[in-house]
Structure formats: C-alpha cells, structure tokens
Amino acid sequence: MTHISVTVDDGHLSALDGVVQGLRARGMQVEQVLDGLGIITGSVPPGTLGALSGVAGVLSVDEQLRHRLAPPDAPVQ
Amino acid sequence: MKDPRRPAVPERETSGLRPRTTGRRVVVFADADSEEPVDWARAGVRDVADSRDFADGDVPPETLRGAGATVFAALGIAVVAADEGQLRELRAGSARPVLSVSPELVHHVLPADIGTYARGYRDGVADLAGRLTSAEWPAPGAARPARFRDTEEATWGVQAVRADASGFSGRGIRVAVLDTGFDLAHADFVARAVTARSFVAGEDAQDGHGHGTHCIGTACGPAVPPAGPRYGVASDAEIFAGKVLGNEGSGTDAGILAGINWAVTSGCPVISMSLGADVVEAHPPYSAAGRRALQRGSLIIAAAGNNADRRTGDDGLVGAPANSVEIMAVGALDQGLEMAYFSARSLPERGGQVDVAAPGWEVLSAWPMPDRYRTISGTSMATPHVAGLAALWAEATGRRGLELWATLCQESERLLQPSLDAGSGLVMAPR
C-alpha cells in the first residue's frame, strides 16, 4: 500500500465528509480526517494514486514523506 | 561593558554625515483615527492643509511646499513649519497628544554622492584584497572567534537572543513542539503545565530518543533550573508536546499533519518542528497546513535542515516542510554568529528560503533522565530558540499568525551573513 495525504481545496473545507466518501469510492483507505487543516490521510494500492485527483474538492494527492532524525548520540541532529 | 554583538557590524565614520533637513518638523499625534481637532491657531500656525480636503486624500506637492502645516489624517502625522515656541505651544495646548516632533529630512535616491559611493567601492575592494591575501580569512570550517559562551547563569544561545534580559516569559502562550515526545518525568519540569499526546502508533508520548526533550527544553525550559545554567527561552509558556516521530527518530507526514492539526485546534500560536525530509520541491500538504494554520493564528516554525557541509563547499538545500512559503525556516548560527557548517542554504525555488537564524551550535538543553542535560548541534536546536522567542513576542504584542511572523523578522538583528543563509538575521527577544 502507498501512504498518501490528500489536500482538500478551500471550497470544500466545510464539506469534508463528501470528499471522504468520494475518496473511499475510488479505493482509498481513509485513516485520518484532519478537519483543522483540510487534509485527509490514508493509503491506496500501489499505482492507483492518480485516480483520486478526479474526486471533487481534491487540490492535490501526495505520497507521504518519511522524516528521520540522526541517532541520539550524534553530535549534529 | 563591551557588547559582544558589536564586532558583527564594522565601525563606520559617521561624522560629516549629518543628514540634511528642511527646517520643517514632522509631528506625530497619538491616535491616527481620532477626530479630535488640533488647535493650530493657538500655536500660531496658519494655512493648514488637510489631506481630507483633497480628492482621495492625495495632497498635491505645491500645497505641501506652501502650507504652514500639512496634515496626513489617515496617518495622524503633520509636517509643520513652526519655531520652537510654536511647537511647545502645540505640545502643551493640543487636545490630541503629540507623540514626537522630528526634523524633516531630505531623502535622496541612493547613492546620494558619487564620491561616497566611489570611496565605499574602493574600501570594499581593498578589504576584499586584504582578506584574500591575509591569514585572517578563516579556512572553511576553521574555528572562528566566539562572541558568546555558556556561563553559570545561561547558555550562549539564551544570551545571544537576549531571552535572559527580556521582561516576557511566554506566560499564557501555548507552544507546541512536534518531535519525539517529552520526558514527562524530567526534574526541571515538575511544576509545569504539560499536555502530551502521541501520534505514533504503538508508542506513548514519553520521549524514547531525547531530541524532543532537548527541543522543548530550549523553547520552554525554566528561568532558573534547579541545576546548571538557564537554557530555555519561554520559561512560563504552556507546553504542548506532540509525538510525531517514533523513539527510533522517524515519522511520516500522517503523524506530523495530525500533530499540526492538534496544535492548531488546541489554540497554540506557536508550533515548532525540528524535522524534515531532504526534498527540493515544496510539499503541497505542508503548504496548505501552513497557510490554514496562519489563518487560524498559529505560526509553524521549522528547521532549514542539516544537509549542508560548508567545509567542503556543499550548501545543501532547505527541505520539507521548511521549504513551504507558509512555514518559517530557521538556519543555525555558532557562537561567533556565523553559519554552522551544516546549516542549509536557500534554494531559488519559491519557498525554499531560510527566513531567520538562531543559535544551533553546541546547544545545551534538557535530555531524558537520568542524563538530564546534553549538548548537541543542529538547525533542530536553532528552531526551538525561535519558537520560544515567538511565544515571548506573542505575549508582548498579542500578535498572531502572519503578524507574529513579520514581528520576528522586523525585530531580528541583521548579521554579516548572506541572507541566503540567515534570512533576516538573529531573532531577538522583546525587551
């Protein structure tokens, strides 16, 4: 599965439920609906991310980045 | 006492550079919006032109030249031709309090004087030649003279940003630090209000790494720690510790965005994020999150990144989330107020710029017990200095969001470092 973040456009911030339904209908497994930010996170089967762009209210669909710190004993963190 | 900051700005010959003035005075009145009339006649000032009498408030230049006083109503400012006695009368007798009276200066398109320009150019070339041929120009990575050092009272970073001399402590301001959590049993924080929450599956908010505790220490550590020097900036701020990176030090956008959402909806005016991924392109979710956070009064401050190695000529890049326009990016300074070798430089891409700089070299702060303290370096350490300072300014001014951002930049001390590396310079505490 590919972990993704879906950014919702300004016009759909008060209608996130409808966007979530649209994303689920296109195969997204929704994990979090961040209503304070208008961002929905979750996962899709590999290679199917592009299908979500067509859902009304979707501004962008992005694969999640991984952030990594240096180990605790590193001088520069 | 010699100010250790002064060597950052070369001494200049200022005598003979007395500004030219017109003989008129610029008077600033209290309350720009006040309808209270100014009693010009009492001060003996005639021919008063008021911007409200002209179309669109646009005062023609010939009126400006001839009038005894020209009033810019929207600004609460007047340019007045008056002698000292009349000005005294104006100050004493006006129903509108006078805030200041200053000589009207003559401004020029720069360079004002080609001689000054040419001399400056000559001196610049001579200085460059001198530096290139002298041993004074430090080799990349060579030790440079320190202007600050840790003392028994405070770390060098707390001194450099003048947090120890500030009348503000971040009281009433919620500061969210999104990191590896917090050592909830740390001896320096027993009496503090801490709200902790984990966004990492299978882990509680307790810090199993140390990085998060160190960052919270710098942003919000106590004014007088029971042991050792002061290392924290906003000593009375309310701590919101969001764990978005696991004990092994990594995390994904989902947890970080969840942490931002929590901080924003919890009403935190300051969100500190000492984390990043080395990608050149701004990441749309962070741009949207940064913008919507600002709209709701929360300023996100993020580390520019440690991916440079200036010793080998590698400038690195500002990664995500700091490379979003809507998120403030922080570079790291050493005790000489020069860039730390690892501090990432701005990219030409929109948003990929460093906005400000702060102490990020050999920073002592809290570490999970029983270690209690540790000294480490990174733009991760510079970021919570700025977060703490943002809390002080939020308390001092009541400003939030973009206004708070602008205040941090306005009030930062300019440095002799490229703006590509240090942005507006060293962020300073309100007095």
Interface of B with A in 243-282 (CB under 8 A): 245, 249-254, 256-258, 260-262, 264-265, 275-277, 279
Q: What is the pLDDT of residue B27?
A: 85
The pLDDT of residue B13: 46
Whether the Cβ atoms of residue B335 and residue B297 lie closer than 8 Å to each other = no
- Same domain? For B170 and B316 the reply is yes
| Residue B174 CB contacts under 8 Å (≥ 6 apart), including other chains | B237, B238, B240, B266, B267, B268, B269, B270
Instruction: Tell me the one-letter amino acid at B35.
Output: E
What burial letters (b/e) apply to B19-30, b meaning 16+ CB within 10 Å? Answer: eeeeebbbbebe
CATH number for the domain spanning B279: value is 3.40.50.200
Domain shared by B304 and B175, yes or no:
yes
Active-site residue, from B346, B380, B412, B424:
B380
Regarding whether B320 and B255 lie in a shared domain, the answer is yes
Co-location of B271 and B406 in the same domain: yes
Question: Do B27 and B120 share a domain, yes or no?
Answer: no
d(CA B263, CA B257): 10
With a CB cutoff of 8 Å and minimum separation 6, the contacts of B157 are B148, B218, B231, B358, B359, B363, B381, B385
Same domain, B227 and B268: yes
Domain boundaries, chain A: 2-63
Chain A residues contacting B via beta carbons under 8 Å? 3, 5, 7, 31-32, 34-39, 41, 59-60, 62, 64-72, 74-77
Residue B143 confidence (pLDDT): 56
CB B366 within 8 A of CB B372: yes
Whether A34 and B279 lie within 8 Å, measured CB to CB: no
Name residues of chain B where pLDDT drops below 70. Answer: 1-19, 32-33, 57, 64, 108-144
Token pair of B43, please?
């001060």
When CB atoms are compared, the residue of B251, B276, B289 closest to A39 is B289
Backbone angles phi, psi at B44, to 5 degrees: 75, 20
pLDDT of residue B406: 98
Q: Which helix (H) or strand (E) holds B358?
A: strand B356-359
Q: What is the ipTM of this complex?
A: 0.89
Which positions ≥6 away from B59 have C-beta within 8 Å? B49, B51, B70, B72
Q: Which three-class secondary structure state does DSSP give residue B251?
A: strand
Q: What is the DSSP letter of B388?
A: H
Contacting residues for B84 by C-beta, under 8 A, at least 6 apart: none
Q: Give chain B's domain count.
A: 3
Let me know whether B118 and B47 are in one domain. Answer: no
For residue B360, being part of any structural domain is answered with yes
What residues of chain A score a pLDDT lower than 70? Answer: none
Helix axes B379-397, B211-220, angle to 10 degrees: 30
Give me B47's structure tokens: 């021919």
Whether CATH 3.40.50.150 fits A2-63: no
Q: Is A36 close to B264, i.e. CB distance below 8 A? A: yes
What's the pLDDT at B132?
Answer: 59
Say what the pLDDT of residue B73 is. Answer: 74
Residues B118 and B76 in one domain: no
Clarify whether residues B202 and B286 are in a common domain: yes
* Chain B residue nearest residue A9, CA to CA: B288
Domain span including residue B187: 156-422
pLDDT averaged over every residue in chain B: 88
B73 and B217 assigned to the same domain: no
**Dist. CA A45–CA A27, nearest whole Å:** 8
Which residue type does B268 have? Answer: C
